[in-house]
Amino acid sequence: MRRGTDGSRSPRRVVAALAAATALLLGATSTPAAAQDAPPEPHSPAPINPIPITPACPDTRGGGGAIDQNGGAVIGTCWGNSPGAGPDRTVSSALVWEWYGCDQWRPFSPGSTVSRVDPHGELLLEDIVARGLDPTVTYVWHTIECRHVQLNDLDDDTDDVIELWGWGFLVIGTTPPVDPTVLRDIAADRIDPEPPTPASAPMWSEIPSVVHLPTWLWITDDWEPLEEQETEGFVTVVVQARPIETTWALSDGATVTCENGPGIEWTPESVEGSTYCSHTFTDAADLIDGTVSMHWTFRWWLNGADMGDFGDFTRVTPITFAVTEIQAIETGG
């Protein structure tokens, strides 16, 4: 469950936040946190950091980590690019000090550590949008405890100076960012319609066509869009595949393209010439083979925003015609 710092959220605010999240994915940038002048008093209640920080590994896009409870290093994940995640790595104490924001008040010195990292629930969508963060990432509020050691460089009995303070809330991204086009492609891969089912009049698999008479062509499949969706964090991508045309490619050299529909099924009541998808053979043949191709195009939406077309695909079925001719017999009168 995602938890925030205030009370109930209305549906209208959620819709507004989704719209803002979409705008954020389309090009908004986040605002870096402002450094604070002094740390909280040692052992004092953790204040709320007004501008949370997103910690990052050097020269990368982001990272997340967890304290080794046995007292060792911090195990972190650095993300080199968006999208994509790099391998887990053990990072230095100096990097951890910077990573968790302790360097806002004291520079790192040997022996300094981040001694506690406590999670306090996930950010709500409006929290993410308000801070200019990537809504495909899961973020968690944390309080941090910093233990700073100032080593004594003098040759005397003076002890090292140790400061311990807690502060929060720090925002840490716990999952790598996801490019919405990756979600789009995952959804598109799940759309896999069957090849088309061809039909004709005369029926190609049962009765030969006749030369110089139109053969009606159509497919019996539904001519309806197919949809899939994929969600990551507060980002939902919807992908729709729409049929756009069929193409009949025959070995007699003919190519018949039928746009805007599957073709018109022939019935005994059909009027000659009322189909937009037909072919007239000119020569008899025992075998005219070919294919029927059904062409589809993709369109996608990002949190309800229309992102346009992005690709297409084709499904193909083989077909074979026999073609005959009717012999006319002239009789004397």
Concatenating the DSSP letter of every residue in 118-155 gives EEEEEPPHHHHHHTT--TTS-EEEEEEEEEEEE---SS
> Which residue is it, tokens 């973020």?
139
273 and 284 Cβ atoms separated by less than 8 Å: no
Give the mean model confidence (pLDDT) for residues 33-38: 46
Is residue 65 within 8 A of residue 75, CB to CB? The reply is yes
Q: How confident is the model at residue 62 (pLDDT cuts 50, 70, 90)?
A: very low
pLDDT at 247 over 70: yes
pLDDT of residue 86: 43
Whole-number Å distance between alpha carbons of 222 and 21: 36
- State the pTM of this model: 0.69
Residue 114 CA neighbour count, 13 Å, CB half: 26
What number is the average pLDDT over the span 152-163? Answer: 71
Q: Kindly state the average pLDDT of the residues 200-216.
A: 93
Name the percent of the chain lying above pLDDT 90.
40
Closest of 71, 34, 63 to residue 49, by C-alpha:
34
The pLDDT confidence band at residue 5, using thresholds 50, 70 and 90, is very low
Tell me whether the omega of the peptide bond preceding residue 83 falls within 30 degrees of 0, making it cis: yes
In this prediction, residue 163 has a pLDDT band, given cuts at 50, 70 and 90, of confident
Instruction: Record the tokens describing residue 125, joined without a space.
Output: 């969508």
pLDDT band at 54 (very low <50, low <70, confident <90, very high): very low
Cα 115-116-119 angle, rounded to 5 deg: 160
User: Higher-confidence residue: 74 or 175?
Assistant: 175
- 193: Cβ–Cβ under 8 A, 6 or more apart, which residues? 221, 226, 241, 294, 296, 315
Are 112 and 149 contacting, i.e. CB atoms less than 8 angstroms apart? yes
> What's the average model confidence in pLDDT over 82-100?
58
C-beta atoms surrounding 128 within 10 Å: 26
Query: Which stretch of 13-22, 47-56, 124-133, 152-161 has the lowest confidence by average pLDDT?
Result: 47-56
Residue 11's pLDDT is: 52
Alpha-carbon distance 333 to 124, whole Å? Answer: 94
Q: What is the pLDDT of residue 44?
A: 43
66, pLDDT greater than 60: no
- Report H helices in the chain: 11-25, 93-99, 125-130, 180-189
What is the signed CA dihedral for 97, 100, 102, 104, rounded to 10 degrees?
Answer: 120
pLDDT over 90 at 249, yes or no: yes
For residues 169 and 51, what is the distance between their CA atoms, to the nearest angstrom? 9
Band of the pLDDT at 121, cuts 50, 70, 90? confident
Q: Which two three-digit tokens encode residue 218?
A: 């159509």
List, in sequence order, every residue forming a beta bridge with 232; answer none if it has no partner: 235
**How crowded is residue 65: how many other Cβ atoms within 10 Å of its Cβ?**
25
- Mean pLDDT value across residues 145-154: 80
Q: Where are the domains of the chain?
A: 11-175, 181-324
Q: What is the rounded average pLDDT for all residues in the chain?
A: 76
The counts of H helices and E strands in the chain are 4, 15
Which has the higher per-residue pLDDT, 222 or 3?
A: 222
182 or 80, which is more confident? 182
